[in-house]
Structure 1
Amino acid sequence: MNNEARLNCGINMPVLGLGTYSYPNDRQTTELAIDMALKMGYRHFDTAKIYGSEPAVGHALTEAILDQTVDREGIFVTSKLWGSDHHDPVSALRQTLKCIGVSNFSSKKIQSLLDFASVPPAVNQVEMHPMWRQRKLRDFCADCKIHVSAYSPLGGPGNAWGTTAVVENPIIQSISRKHKTTPAQVALQWGLSNGSSMIVKSFNQKRLKENMEALNVKLDAQDLTDIEKLEEWKIMRGEFLVNDSTSPYKTIEDLWDGEI
């Protein structure tokens, strides 16, 4: 399969990215994981100011570039700013920023943005996995030529807020046995098969390799049909963003514009 997605800004983005969120955040562990990932062929790295991993990502990639392990043009970095970090970055970003994107936007929020924005977002990064498939949003983004990128494509196992329900689902496990692969690879290939990119976090060498090999897994039409029958439920519901006093969102339904 094609290991890159062509974005509406004219840039190619690797469809398998390494997520770098971890709690507690340990810089040395993150840098070692990035070094391992680079040697395995990872070229897309996802970070955010709120993760606290930007310094580790920057240092690890700089070292790899100086060591000529990889050239800068071959690296794609996704980062994210929280809503409190508004400033005037234009002069600096004219030199470095290639594409802009959004995260956790519903179809309604994207349409509101498109109604006035002169530059459309290239990517919408959202929770997506076989048990939260985002069909409506994916179709809307496809019509708008906005690429969908999935965080928590395995359901976030290993995180305090995550679940093993995706990789332990009997249908996912049955498909993995059928193809002599792993449940994680099935979940990742499901997302890749629908044209999305996968941001998956692991600092474990074996799982880093396993996730990269998901690019070579082939699912058939029956597999995809069976996955479409899975009951859906969203893991990251965002309850902490909803209240009656300081938030514009009074209910979970308001927050996600009914797409939940």
Structure 2
Amino acid sequence: MPKRPVSEAERRRRRPTRGGAVLSHRLILDTALRMLHEHGSAGLTARRLGTALGADPSALYRYFRGMDDLILAIADDLMGRAADGWQGTGAWRDDLRDLGLRVHAAYLAHPQAAVLTAGRVSGRPHETAADETILGILRTAGFPDPDAVAVYQAFIDQALAFAALDAATLALPAAAREADHAVWGATYARLPARTHPHIAATAGLLVARMNRSAYPTALEMFLDSAEGRLTRARAAAAQVPPGRRP
């Protein structure tokens, strides 16, 4: 016989932990995010999380089915942070830009968690709400459904891919990150024009740009492409005789 679902109220620990806190879904998520920030993914285990919470590790399983369930909850939480307080303007391009930058920023605020979760699909409320919002923006703007789905996929994958890439840099030890940044000025800027004419010609620009995220630029390129797709779809629809439209 399947187990009866346990409500949040029933799951709550009835007495405080050794640290004086009462366990909750939110407290566990926040503590896990802090541990990821301090120790990376290797440091997030049920035993260490229980110690940080002042509770027996087995208590965590009253809230999450396992550590992977917790990871999926963190992924959904990051998406919720991105959408928190967002309001659309009705201008599809502006709204997508704002959402993309919000997703990118929310993940970079927790780089260790971003590296761990950017490639996951949780199917949970914040994620599905964000997907519904994005598809709604596109369909309301007039993208035909096949185009809306294609643009949605490219949009969210681009945002998460750049979040993972940029978060991986932020998650590096400070010395390694600084050494990587220095390569553009120490190596690329000194390559001779005789052997590397194109790098030498653009060295100053490379040094100025390459240690900053390319996501805002890539996002504008993506939006230009999506706008072109919408223009072509509208032109194609205008050429179909009204009586023959589906």
Which category of TM-score, normalised to the shorter sequence, fits these structures? under 0.3
Rg larger in 1 or in 2? 2
Q: Which has the higher contact order (CA 8 A, sep 6+)?
A: 1
Higher strand fraction: Structure 1 or Structure 2?
1
> What TM-score do the two structures reach when normalised by structure 2?
0.26
